[in-house]
Amino acid sequence: MTGPTDGSPEGTAATGPADPVTGPGQVPAAGDAYQVRALAGLPEIRPGDDLAELIAAAAPGLEDGDILLVTSKIVSKAEGRVVAADDRETAIDAETVRVVARRGTLRIVENRQGLVMAAAGVDASNTPAGTVLLLPEDPDASARGLRDGLRDALGVDVGVVVTDTFGRPWRTGLTDVAIGAAGVRVLDDLRGGTDAHGNPLSATIVAVADELAGAGDLVKGKASGLPVAVVRGLGHLVDPSGKEGARSLVRDSVDDMFRLGTSEAVREAVTLRRTVREFTDEPVDPGAVRRAVAAAVTAPAPHHTTPWRFVLLESAGARTRLLDAMRDAWIADLRRDGRSEESIARRVRRGDVLRNAPYLAVPCLVMDGSHHYGDARRDAAEREMFVVAAGAGVQNFLVALAGERLGSAWVSSTMFCREVVREVLELPADWDPMGAVAIGHAAAPPKERPARETARFVEVR
């Protein structure tokens, strides 16, 4: 690959001698030579311009099988996605769906197009002073419009990729990626095939549209005023019948192992934490629970103590023995209260969340290191401090489980029959069970939590 090769203002990268815009076209197989060249001759784009018409005028030699790589900025300009620079922060807010990470004034967010990027893609470069550009409202639709317009103007079947500049986690520097596409194979799924050595490919899906975008960026540059590149020689990637857009490059949240950002990770995990009462049969990873315990024991506690213990019930037999004994104790208590058998049965059914969970944890409080004052008031306050610390540990535990994509429900039932729990689980006499936590994979998405007005819970003095 090379830079400009002929003294013209068009940057060129080539693997063969043919002119990529005006020379004879071919549709080669994968592995054959291809050429990529920046397109000169485009005017400054303004709102309302027919971008397809302008590109057609600058590249009348486009052929079937060519692929156009179009910088999103000129698409945004043509579509009127221009706002005053004074409104940049407001524009970022309006384009943001979710804040992923924040450092000072810099925000990495998920925007309305589903892209995770800095400032929601609101950009102040390559636009007149005093203005900023928003990304196209629907980049895939923009790509389809350009493709249709070029077919109408030149009678050619081309692929179109709308590109934008991205930073990447764990990597320094920027590169172009595809944010919109039409008539192009966006992903090349090689799973089920084999490599050159006959090894099976089980996870290989190539982001073809992103690779095309990167190739175009090599010749367009960031400040050269060449917003369109043309690729020739990769006609096998053009799919006139395909409806796949660049949106398919965005990983679904359920498959995204790195969805959470930095300080926002904790806040999002807290938000994700819900009481889950129905679970699938999918087994729970014991390692995930132990990682949640590791988070739990970082909670604050009085006198530098460690008042938390977690009993993990990983076998079905242990869970059944405990829950059967607790049920019997609960029924006996309810009968002593004079409850009817119907009422008792109804209340016992509320414990099904524990019985139906594939994994249980019983958090316990220990008072090791507590102070004894010989004064009822101070001793009661001392215990309260430890109980609060136990609650903080359990909250850490629940939030960490949410971060592991595990659902949970903290049920208080073991606190009503502590002696029974100690006996069944063979716990020391000074371990106080503080409820039980049902753990598993949620059978359904959690219901939306009603919004709570923060001001209702705050008093300022």
Q: What tens digit of pLDDT does each residue of 241-296 get?
A: 777 899 999 988 777 777 766 655 666 666 667 888 899 999 999 999 999 999 99
Q: What is the pLDDT of residues 391-423, one digit of tens each?
A: 999 999 999 998 888 999 999 989 989 999 999
242 dihedral zone (left: phi>0; alpha: psi -120 to 50; beta): beta
Please state the pTM of the whole predicted model: 0.62
Single out the residue of 310, 354, 347, 313 nearest to residue 331, CA to CA.
347
Single out the residue of 116, 61, 122, 114 nearest to residue 86, CA to CA.
122
Average pLDDT estimate for 113-128: 87
Domains located in the chain, CATH noted: 12-255 (3.30.1330.100), 273-457 (3.40.109.10)
160: CB partners within 8 A, 6+ apart: 67, 68, 70, 143, 144, 146, 147, 150, 180, 181, 182, 183, 184
Q: How confident is the model at residue 69 (pLDDT cuts 50, 70, 90)?
A: very high
The H or E element that residue 296 is part of is helix 286-296
Q: Which residues pair with 391 in a beta bridge?
A: none
pLDDT of residue 349: 79
- Decide: 115 and 105 in contact? Cβ < 8 Å: no
Distance CA 171, CA 214 (A): 15
pLDDT of residue 207: 92
- pLDDT at position 224 over 60: yes
pLDDT of residue 7: 32
pLDDT of residue 157: 95
Owner of token pair 């830079």: 3
pLDDT of residue 5: 32
Instruction: DSSP letter for 261, please.
Output: -
pLDDT of residue 461: 95
Q: Which of 128-132, 205-209, 211-215 has the lowest mean pLDDT?
A: 128-132
Q: How confident is the model at residue 195 (pLDDT cuts 50, 70, 90)?
A: confident
Q: Which of 23-32, 379-388, 436-445 has the lowest mean pLDDT?
A: 23-32
Distance CA 205, CA 189 (A): 4
- pLDDT at position 12 over 70: no
The one-letter code for the residue type at 228 is: V
Q: What is the pLDDT of residues 284-331, one digit of tens each?
A: 999 999 999 999 999 999 999 999 999 999 999 999 999 999 989 888
Distance CA 83, CA 80 (A): 9
What is the torsion angle, in degrees rounded to the nearest 10, for the CA atoms of residue 421, residue 287, residue 296 and residue 265?
-140
The H or E element that residue 394 is part of is helix 376-403
pLDDT of residue 129: 82
397-420 burial code (b ≥16 CB/10 A, e <16): bbbbbbbbebbbbbbebbeebbeb
| Strand ranges (E), 388-449 | 407-411, 432-433, 436-440
Summary mean pLDDT of the chain: 87
- Decide: 436 and 411 in contact? Cβ < 8 Å: yes
- pLDDT at position 26 over 50: no
* For the chain, percent of residues with pLDDT exceeding 70: 90
What is the torsion angle, in degrees rounded to the nearest 10, for the CA atoms of residue 288, residue 292, residue 297 and residue 301?
-170
Q: What angle do CA 363, 451, 253 make, to 5 degrees?
A: 70
